[in-house]
Amino acid sequence: MPTARIAKREPPKPAGHRLSALDKHWKLRRAAGLQILEAIPLKKFNWLVHGFSTCPGGISDLERSSSGRAKKESVLNLGFTDWDRRESVAENRRRFAKALGAKSSALTTLRQIHSDVVRIVGSAPSNVCQGDALATRAPRLLLSVQTADCIPILLVDPRNRAVAAVHAGWRGTLARIAAKTIGRMQMEFGTRPADVLAALGPGIGRCCYEVGPEVVKEFAAQFPHARDWFDGPFDALASSEDPNPLPWLTMMPPGHEPPPPRCHLDLHAANSAILATAGVAPKNIFVSDLCTFCRPDLFFSYRREARTGRMMAAIGIT
């Protein structure tokens, strides 16, 4: 999940807030008691399974607050979190794989570290690797990444029948992990970027993803078109001085400093641009504009909830 330091805050009111954001390339499919978000263009390959999980339908009990009132909900938590039982997560994972039609595939996960490390797997690994992208050409593996605001990206190379799953928060985006995954697929499988289809699943949207000067500066230094991905005082933050290390010099009593200015970052736009620069055809990049922060009915959000679950994006060759 994106880890930039900001205060937790209430989600915005949903009125007029892209509530019916499922566009023509995306569909919520009900299966095995769950709701799976699918990228329609990936469904034309009969050798491929894929899907992005949503909250409803699991067996994990999570106390969530909606409109200020805490209530227990049964959710599909797919990550081993401190508040959940391992058996519940294992059962949720089993249901998710079943809903995807990948019951007999070996679920392959990562210990995600907000890096640019890409793992190529040829068979089910015996222990969980560290990294933020998985790629394979082997059948009966279900590659997965876990998110709760970060952007999950699924890649398909139909010509060589290779697939990848990528986890991109702001650090991974900054490190161009999506482009590096395409690069590794090129090297290992002979993938041609122009053949690749990319599905960018639900993550925290431009509407809700506030970041401070430390993030703005890093993007400004790395990408000539970074400005396009931000709303707010981009230039001011990109060129701002670091905060005064000696707060007494500001002449403000403690706790009375003005709040630091912030920008909103669009991680979907950034990753789409990074993929396009890597040679993926813009017509083959499909972006879900569902925001995890805006839609507590469908998604977990690390920013929205102090205690939350993990969604999974998964892809595999049958």
Binding site for Zn ion (CB under 5 A): 205, 207-208, 291, 293-294
Residue 181 contacts residue 157 (beta carbons within 8 Å): no
Nearer to Zn ion, 131 or 203 (CB): 203
Element (H, E) at 28: strand 26-31
Which residue has the closest beta carbon to Zn ion?
291
For the four alpha carbons of 303, 304, 310 and 314, in that order, the dihedral sign comes to negative
Residue 186 contacts residue 194 (beta carbons within 8 Å): no
Nearer to Zn ion, 18 or 161 (CB): 18
Residue 42 bridge partners (DSSP): none
Nearer to Zn ion, 178 or 204 (CB): 204
HSE, side-chain direction, 13 A CA sphere, residue 68: 1
Please report which residue ranges of the chain form alpha helices under DSSP H.
86-100, 170-174, 177-189, 213-222, 234-238, 267-277
Minimum gap (Å) between residue 164 Cβ and Zn ion? 27
Minimum gap (Å) between residue 293 Cβ and Zn ion? 4
Minimum gap (Å) between residue 240 Cβ and Zn ion? 25
Nearer to Zn ion, 7 or 246 (CB): 7
Minimum gap (Å) between residue 204 Cβ and Zn ion? 7
Minimum gap (Å) between residue 208 Cβ and Zn ion? 3
Q: Which of 311, 317, 276, 246 is CA-nearest to residue 93?
A: 311
Q: Which of 267, 116, 273 is CA-nearest to residue 180?
A: 116
Give the integer Cα–Cα distance in Å for 310 and 147. Answer: 5
Minimum gap (Å) between residue 13 Cβ and Zn ion? 11
β-strands 48-52, 26-31 pairing: unpaired
Minimum gap (Å) between residue 117 Cβ and Zn ion? 29
Give the integer Cα–Cα distance in Å for 169 and 147. Answer: 9
Nearer to Zn ion, 201 or 205 (CB): 205
Nearer to Zn ion, 208 or 215 (CB): 208
Residues 6+ apart with CB under 8 A from 57: 32, 33, 34, 35, 74, 76, 95
Nearer to Zn ion, 219 or 293 (CB): 293
Q: Which of 58, 152, 145, 155 is CA-nearest to residue 108?
A: 145
Minimum gap (Å) between residue 60 Cβ and Zn ion? 24
Nearer to Zn ion, 22 or 207 (CB): 207
